[in-house]
Amino acid sequence: MPDIEETRERYGRTLARLAGQDRRVVALDCDLGRSTKSHDLSEVDPRRFIDLGIAEQDMISTAAGLASCGKIVFVNSFAVFLTGRAFDQIRQQISLPKANVKLCGSSAGITLGADGATHQAINDVTLMRCLPNMTVIVPADGNQTEKAVVAAYLHPGPVYLRLSRYHLANFLPEDCAFEVGRAAVLREGNRVALAATGPVTAHALEAADLLQAEGVSTGVYNFHTLKPFDINCAREIAGRYETVFSIEEHNIVGGLGSALAETLCELFEPAAKPLLQRIGIRDAYGESGTAEELVHKHRLDAEGITGTVLEVLEKRRQYRR
Amino acid sequence: MFERLELKAWEARLELIRMFSYGKAHHFGGSLSCVELLTCLYFYKMRYSALLRDDPDRDRFILSKGHSVPAQYVILSMLGVLPEGELRTIKQLGSRLQGHPDVNKTPGIEAPTGSLGQGLSFANGVALAARLDSRQFRIFVLLGDGELQEGQVWEAAMTSAHHRLTNVCVLVDSNRFQSQGSVGEIKGVQPLAGKWAAFGWEVLEVDGHDVAQICGALDRVDDRSGRPLAIIASTVKGKGVSFMENSFKYHNRALSEQEYRQAEQEILEQISSRKHGHAGH
């Protein structure tokens, strides 16, 4: 596998492989197949790649019809259109009846870059997380994407897969463990925990190195599944660290930060809860720029994460005096 | 045969009114307008029965105008898919008969609808699955005329035509009223036939309460050459109950006991005249 890989690329290859093994697998797209990579499936069987034109609502309901006949349907578009434009169709015809449809939201987040605010999904996880019966997965790199796509395929019901075109080196092992609903412990520490989701998890790992060099013992946890949320891992983090940071390329309203906050504050144990600080897009829209520039601007790169952590630790010191 | 179907339709109307009873709001108008259409589909055209309920080759009926599901519950009860006594539980807490179609709760319901405009897309998905699996069954979709204001209907109409999904058949229950008034006043959808034709459909126009015309049109679904079939059925909202007919006021409301008795009586008279009329010939 290539070192540098966008999660959407591994998604397309994995989808094509699954379609080769299972005739029930069908992909639908809305005129973005070569970008979302769903078009890869057409090399296996062109009849099972269906382009519905620029009509997201039609695509979602069509997928529900296919699923009602036993097909395993992967629907594709940019995350922003898929979850926003067709939200009511997803609500009524996918999540309510528990249709076996995999919603694959591509080019999610600000790392879409140049296309700007209209095309950058920053609240897709919020929208999908509030739907009953929905599983929400955000793969961090190519290797985890392959595991996630297979897990979504095997899961009998609706799944939202958030995919990215962030150009990044794979940083998880090819044989990384993956279980839906179970966060991955990437690194253990005892003072600061970085809970990250999606490709920016790579920057959390880099930040942990920088923090370690500053003498701050830092753990890194990858929450690839945002729903169902891993309560056990949240409890473990709460018992072990005094400060926790959620890190996501998404609005801090409704994403990983919210899921973690909701979970932590409802825990009976430990009685003394860690402080949670959310790092992400701070309730603002994106803009045009390169992925790297935007990640830097929103302080989601290693430098930004490290800076935020050190600032928060300093503030805590002041409050304790 | 048509007399039998017509009588069945009026019996279905009676069941419908008795299921609704009085004191509780229901979607009267749009349920009463599509009774003949549903009767002809289930008792004349479709390969469907209680035994075939889960058969992968059964014909499908998809009620895109989901608020008319009471009419479908009555037909499913007449077919034995739903036990007779269950109809009275409609919309009660814990009932299998929800206010709008629920595929997980109610046997015989094929598609989750209610939020309008989504049924034809769903039907296209079923048709595409049938094509992939080389199955020959047909999919009938019932839309309201007010529902045609939803843009997704026209996205789906393009999909059926583009993919030549000739096993999909649309029926438009054109009762000319929607929730808040007449369709023409709120936002006109005419010319209906011209719109469907322009989207690549063959169009037939029928009187939606004339079972012979409906059956004749439904038979045309089997001799398709390239274009799917849309049947525009001209109907009367609230058909069969004089004070409900051609009014939007009974789109979704409760009857008084007196109104209920009158509605039941009017339908009973229709049934009685048909029974005696036929006995005399």
Report pLDDT digits (tens) over B41-51.
999 999 999 99
Question: How far is A111 from chain B, CA to nearest CA, in Å?
Answer: 31
Question: Average per-residue pLDDT in chain B?
Answer: 96
Q: What is the mean pLDDT of residues B210-221?
A: 97
* pLDDT of B281 above 50: no
pTM exceeds 0.90, yes or no? yes
- Within 10 angstroms of residue A136's Cβ, the number of other Cβ atoms is 30
Of A215-224, B57-66, B241-250, the one with minimum mean pLDDT is B241-250
Find all residues with CB under 8 Å of A268, minimum gap 6, and list them.
none
Q: What is the mean pLDDT of residues A83-90?
A: 98
Please tell me the distance from the alpha carbon of residue B247 to that of residue A150, in angstroms, as a whole number.
Answer: 54
Q: What is the pLDDT of residue B278?
A: 58
> How would DSSP label each residue in B160-194?
HHHTT-TTEEEEEEE-SEETTEEHHHHH----HHH
Active site residues of A: 56
Using a CB-CB cut-off of 8 Å, the residues of chain B touching A68 are 103, 110-111, 122, 125-126, 129
Q: What is the mean pLDDT of residues A304-321?
A: 94
Q: What is the pLDDT of residue B279?
A: 47
Determine which of A69, A81, A94, A101 to mutate to test the interface with B (most B C-beta atoms within 10 Å).
Answer: A69
Q: What is the mean pLDDT of residues B190-202?
A: 97
What is the chain A residue with the closest CA to B106?
A: A97
Question: Where do the domains of chain B lie, and which CATH numbers do they carry?
Answer: 2-279 (3.40.50.970)
Q: What is the pLDDT of residue B280?
A: 42
Higher pLDDT, A270 or B149: B149
CA dihedral sign of residues A199, A181, A132, B142: positive
Residue A271's pLDDT band, with cuts at 50, 70 and 90, is confident
Q: What is the pLDDT of residue B157?
A: 98
* pLDDT of B82 above 70: yes
**Are the beta carbons of B112 and A47 separated by less than 8 Å?**
no
Residue A61's pLDDT band, with cuts at 50, 70 and 90, is very high
* pLDDT of A1 above 70: no
* pLDDT of A2 above 80: no
Q: What is the pLDDT of residue B120?
A: 98
**Are the beta carbons of A57 and B126 separated by less than 8 Å?**
no
Q: What is the pLDDT of residues B114-159, one digit of tens each?
A: 999 999 999 999 999 999 999 999 999 999 999 999 999 999 999 9
Q: What is the pLDDT of residues B245-258, one digit of tens each?
A: 998 888 899 999 99
Q: What is the pLDDT of residue A321?
A: 75
Q: What is the pLDDT of residues B104-114, one digit of tens each?
A: 999 999 999 99
- DSSP bridge partners of A74: A27, A102
Three-class HEC string of A73-121? EEEEEEHHHHHHHCHHHHHHHHHCCCCCEEEEEECCCHHHCCCCHHHCC
Please tell me the distance from the alpha carbon of residue A159 to that of residue A136, in angstroms, as a whole number.
Answer: 6
* pLDDT of B214 above 70: yes
Question: Where do the domains of chain A lie, and which CATH numbers do they carry?
Answer: 4-169 (3.40.50.970), 184-320 (3.40.50.920)
- Residues found in chain A: 321
**Are the beta carbons of B56 and A52 separated by less than 8 Å?**
no
